[in-house]
DNA sequence: AATAATAGTGCAACCGCTTGCATTATATTA
DNA sequence: TAATATAATGCAAGCGGTTGCACTATTATT
């Protein structure tokens, strides 16, 4: 059982050539004769040689590794995105390090420091809710490590960003509610400190305005989206004599919660109340009724972010784009009122 | 904007000490005087020094990085497990590289080669369905890279394994079905090439035997668990004059599918037919009715695997354990028949 | 056949940190 | 005070590749 790993020196000496020749042969340098290349590669296979990427990284001053920061890997959207990133990075022969911020800025900073130490070639990130400044990311850039943000972006950082059009998605969701017969739609979203929720609220409002549906006072709620918050909101709404007949939740998980609470209130979905969410999860197919949603293509978003980052690394272009990923309206039963105006 | 990264040499020369002194000071070696240590650490902070982990890894011949191989990051159980691994690894100051096999052996082999090249300190893996031999993992071990398997393990590899007791879980699920009034429970699982499904089937059978419930012919199905397979199975069962009155699915996703198909057949759940699954997902709370399950603690399993691996790395112990993670029976509405024998 | 151009290979420095051993400064002991 | 033990620091050789440049072997040009 050979303890020590085979190195290019082993190959070199067993073939009586220089290590540099071996290195070039293994990297298919054009400066090596076909004959030698084959001799070297065969010997390498014979000895079970595997390149030491650490050594290679050190001398090449690039690691072929990119770092991914997400709030939590175990949330559907982010795991989809991670999957997308991973597949692109792998296709291009790279490696991926994934780290979770757990929604704290402190941890996010820790991770960027770690990535810096690791000399990753680039970083893709979706920011924690807490993140209100981006010095830690700017620091990466100043050390020549390009950054690409997706979904949870911050416009204080000059970099390529891959986002969905939150305004448009919300607009479409609200329009869908209206077109399927809702006269009194309501909105529940997260804090406006996150631009994303602001935009979703705006899209919702504008859609109502454009369709001449008045926004009832108290029907546009901003909370922290904790379970309690959502329960409170529902209680407030349902205790009214004129409750909403449609709800748009600005997050997928909130929608799932709302559908359950609505059932507890014995509300008929969608006939008493329609429900649609921003964000789509596998669950949505399995709820009762199945839950309509604005679907954010997580995998594509991750893949796109990765492609942009890798291009920036490869070509050193410092051209920063704002990429808008397409949204899909997934109509399911939670918004198909019997007497709705529009049936698919 | 300083392009080049600060190195220990920069610190050394600006302080007129040797690089080795700086290195030791930064690593809190006891061989350095308090005074120098502080001087060095302050200067390091002042210059914005960040250790180059690549260089450090190369000279220490250890990377502080561990590799994780899972079939797919975007599946709940595995993302939970990954999360568990990550948190433990991070607590101990390490880094994690995650790679997905996408359920193919070939990709799994590729990953192990990549990990080898990366000189990860250890590997945690949950095998692809295709994986019927473990030479690629044995190869890691032979190069002194310890391996820990979880959930999808292979007993051909001598290593620590973290699993759940599939037999017992299935036994408990089946017993639960029986105790809640099922007289004709059925089982649908994956191919027996995977030990795990075999064990679940065995647990199911034994529970019936122990409770004197006969297993009807054709009620223990082994398929590839594709959507078509599940539909076929349900059609076969439901076209009988004496269909099952309870179904135990050996995977969570199959259960979700079954509950939907059952609704399409207009079956009352749980009164006409109870459903319980091996594996629990957030979805289970939101289906209608909510779906009972044997819950595998993904996060804990990952964390446990990580702890064992890191200990093996640190202490070089070659003692290999079989760790059985506890299962939880999550009783929800899909198994609470009105006239069941046992109510919680 | 002599010269120039080109292809193939080797030398050696380097990437940045670590570490065994040698050396020097300081403290302890006789 | 000299001899010895101990603490603090420095030297230099790695770790395993990569790469600019020098050098040799081969081929093309006149």
Length of chain B: 344
What pLDDT sits at residue B342?
A: 52
Query: pLDDT at position A3, please?
Result: 59
pLDDT 10s digits, B99-119: 999 999 999 999 999 999 999
From the CA of B33, how many Å to the C1' of C27?
14
Positions of chain C reached by protein Cβ under 7 A: 7-12, 14-20
Residues of B in contact with A87 (CB under 8 A): 100
Which superfamily, per CATH, for B166-296+329-335? Response regulator (3.40.50.2300)
Strand order in the sheet with A328-330: A220-222, A185-189, A246-249, A274-278, A292-295, A328-330
Strand D bases contacted by the protein (CB, 7 Å): 7-12, 14-20
Place of tokens 């040797």: B18
Kindly report the CATH number that applies to the domain delimited by A62-164+298-325. Answer: 3.40.50.2300
The residue extents of the domains of chain B are 8-51, 63-164+298-325, 166-296+329-335
- Residue recorded with tokens 């379970």: A227
Helix-, strand-, coil-residue percentages of chain A, each rounded to 5 = 45, 15, 40
With beta carbons under 8 A apart, name residues in chain A contacting B82. 73-74, 98
Q: CA–C1' distance A41–D24 (Å)?
A: 24
B143 touches strand D (CB under 7 A): no
Q: Do A286 and B282 touch (CB under 8 A)?
A: no
Tell me how far apart the alpha carbons of residues B31 and A138 are, in angstroms, rounded to a whole number.
37
Determine if residue A121 is left, alpha or beta; phi over 0 gives left, psi from -120 to 50 gives alpha, anything else beta.
alpha
pLDDT for A190: 92
From the Cβ of B59, is strand D under 7 Å away? Answer: yes
Q: CA nearest A102: which of B94, B90, B312?
A: B90
Q: Minimal Cα distance from A142: which residue of B?
A: B1
Nearest chain B CA: its distance from A223 CA (Å) = 22
Is domain B63-164+298-325 classified as CATH 3.40.50.2300?
Answer: yes
Tokens of B50: 């960040």
Check if residue A8 sits with its Cβ under 7 angstroms from strand D.
yes
B322 exposure class (CB count in 10 Å sphere: 0-12, 13-18, 19+): exposed
A273 token code pair: 């109340």
Nearest CA in chain A to B71: A83
Contact A99 B116 (CB under 8 A): no
Question: CA A29 – C1' C5 distance (Å)?
Answer: 20
Alpha-carbon separation of residue B194 from A122, A236, B129, B149, B338 (angstroms): 39, 52, 7, 14, 36
CA of B20 vs C1' of C18, distance in Å? 8
- pLDDT tens sequence for chain A (344 residues): 445 789 999 999 999 999 999 999 999 988 899 999 999 999 999 999 999 999 999 999 999 999 999 999 888 999 999 999 999 999 999 999 989 999 999 999 999 999 999 999 999 999 998 999 999 999 999 999 999 999 999 999 999 999 999 999 999 999 999 999 999 999 999 988 888 999 999 999 999 999 999 999 999 999 999 999 999 999 999 999 999 999 999 999 999 999 999 989 999 999 999 999 999 999 898 888 899 999 999 999 999 999 999 999 988 877 899 999 999 999 999 999 987 665 44
Query: Is 1.10.260.40 the CATH classification of the domain at A8-51?
Result: yes
Distance CA A31, CA A25 (A): 8
Listed in sequence order, the residues at least 6 apart from A51 whose beta carbon sits closer than 8 Å to its beta carbon are: A26, B117
| CB-count burial class (<10 Å; 0-12, 13-18, 19+) for B32 | buried
| Chain A residues touching B334 at Cβ < 8 A | none
Nucleotide nearest to B35 (CA to C1'): D8
Q: What is the DSSP letter of A289?
A: S
Q: Which helix (H) or strand (E) holds A118?
A: helix A105-118
Note whether B297 and B76 are within 8 A (CB).
no
Q: Long-range pairs for B149-152 at CB < 8 Å and ≥24 separation?
A: B149/B124, B149/B125, B149/B305, B150/B81, B150/B124, B150/B125, B150/B126, B150/B301, B150/B302, B150/B304, B150/B305, B151/B77, B151/B81, B151/B126, B151/B196, B151/B296, B151/B301, B152/B71, B152/B126, B152/B127, B152/B128, B152/B194, B152/B196
Which residue intervals of A1-33 are DSSP H helices? 8-15, 19-26
What is the CA A49 to chain-centroid distance, rounded? 37
Angle (CA) B63-B64-B65 rounded to 5° is 85
Residue of B nearest to A1 (CA): B142
Burial class, B271, CB count within 10 angstroms (exposed 0-12 / middle 13-18 / buried 19+): middle
Measured in angstroms, the CA of A53 and the nearest CA of chain B are apart by 5
Of A52, A117, A142, the CB nearest to B52: A117
Question: Is residue A95 within 8 Å of A89, Cβ to Cβ?
Answer: yes
**For the segment 27-46 of chain B, residues whose CB is within 7 A of strand D:** 30-36
Chain A CA closest to residue B63: A54
Chain B nearest-CA distance from A117, in A, is 5
Rounded distance between C-alpha atoms, residue A79 and residue B229, angstroms: 27
Contact of B59 with B112, CB cutoff 8 Å: no
Nucleotide nearest to A37 (CA to C1'): C8
Chain B residue with Cα closest to A77: B74
Per-residue model confidence as pLDDT tens for chain B (344 residues): 446 789 999 999 999 999 999 999 999 998 899 999 999 999 999 999 999 999 999 999 999 999 999 999 888 999 999 999 999 999 999 999 989 999 999 999 999 999 999 999 999 999 998 999 999 999 999 999 999 999 999 999 999 999 999 999 999 999 999 999 999 999 999 988 888 999 999 999 999 999 999 999 999 999 999 999 999 999 999 999 999 999 999 999 999 999 999 989 999 999 999 999 999 999 898 888 899 999 999 999 999 999 999 999 998 877 899 999 999 999 999 999 987 665 44
The tokens describing B209, both together, are 């035997």
Give the three-class secondary structure for A84: helix
pLDDT of residue B292: 97
Ramachandran angles phi, psi of B308, nearest 5°: -65, -45
pLDDT at residue A288, rounded to an integer: 84
Is residue A40 within a helix (H) or strand (E), and if so which, with residue range?
Answer: helix A34-47
| B100 token code pair | 């997905």
Q: C15 C1' – B49 CA distance, angstroms?
A: 17
B8-51 and B63-164+298-325 agree in CATH topology:
no
B128-157 pLDDT tens trace: 989 999 999 999 999 999 999 999 999 999
Beta carbons of A95 and B97 less than 8 Å apart: yes
Pairing of β A65-70 and β B274-278: unpaired
Classify A115 as helix, strand or coil.
helix
**The tokens of B99 are what?**
């790679």
Give residue-wise pLDDT tens across range B289-300: 899 999 999 999
- A259 contacts in B (CB within 8 Å)? 286
The shortest CB-CB distance from A51 to any of B117, B143, B285 is to B117
The spacing between the Cα labelled CA in B309 and the C1' in C19, in angstroms, equals 27
Residues 6+ apart with CB under 8 A from B191: B129, B197, B222, B223, B224
Q: How far is the CA of B321 from the C1' of D10 (A)?
A: 46
Residue of B245, B200, B242 lying closest to B221 (CA atoms): B200
Cα–Cα dist A235/A223, whole Å: 14
Q: Is the CB of A47 under 7 A from strand D?
A: no
Min Cα distance A184 → chain B (Å) is: 25
């Amino acid at each position: 059982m050979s303890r020590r790993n085979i190195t290019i020196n082993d190959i070199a000496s067993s073939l009586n050539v220089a290590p540099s020749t071996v290195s070039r042969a293994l990297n298919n340098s054009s400066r090596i004769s076909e004959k030698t290349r084959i001799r070297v590669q065969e010997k390498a296979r014979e000895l079970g040689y595997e390149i030491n990427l650490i050594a290679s990284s050190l001398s090449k001053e690039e690691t072929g590794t990119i770092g991914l920061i997400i709030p939590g890997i175990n949330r559907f959207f982010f795991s989809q995105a991670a999957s997308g990133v991973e597949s692109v990075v792998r296709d291009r022969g790279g490696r991926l390090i994934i780290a979770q911020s757990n929604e704290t800025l402190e941890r996010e900073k820790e991770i960027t420091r770690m990535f810096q130490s690791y000399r990753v070639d680039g970083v893709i990130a979706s920011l924690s809710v807490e993140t209100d400044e981006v010095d830690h990311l700017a620091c990466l850039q100043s050390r020549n490590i390009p950054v690409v943000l997706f979904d949870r972006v911050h416009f204080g950082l000059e970099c390529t960003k891959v986002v969905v059009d939150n305004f448009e998605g919300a607009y479409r969701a609200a329009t869908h509610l209206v077109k399927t017969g809702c006269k009194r739609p309501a909105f529940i979203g997260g804090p406006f400190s996150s631009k994303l929720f602001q935009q979703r609220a705006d899209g919702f409002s504008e859609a109502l305005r454009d369709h001449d549906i008045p926004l009832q006072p108290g029907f546009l709620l901003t909370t922290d989206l904790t379970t309690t918050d959502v329960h409170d909101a529902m209680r407030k709404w349902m205790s009214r004599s004129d409750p909403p007949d449609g709800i748009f939740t600005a997050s997928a998980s909130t929608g799932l919660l709302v559908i359950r609470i609505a059932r507890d209130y014995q509300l008929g979905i969608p006939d008493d109340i329609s429900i649609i969410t921003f964000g789509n999860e596998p669950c949505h197919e399995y709820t009762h009724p199945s839950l309509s949603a604005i679907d954010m293509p997580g995998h594509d978003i991750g893949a796109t972010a990765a492609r942009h980052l890798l291009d920036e690394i490869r070509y050193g272009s410092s051209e920063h784009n704002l990429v808008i990923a397409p949204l899909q309206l997934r109509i399911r039963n939670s918004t198909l009122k019997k007497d709705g105006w529009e049936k698919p």
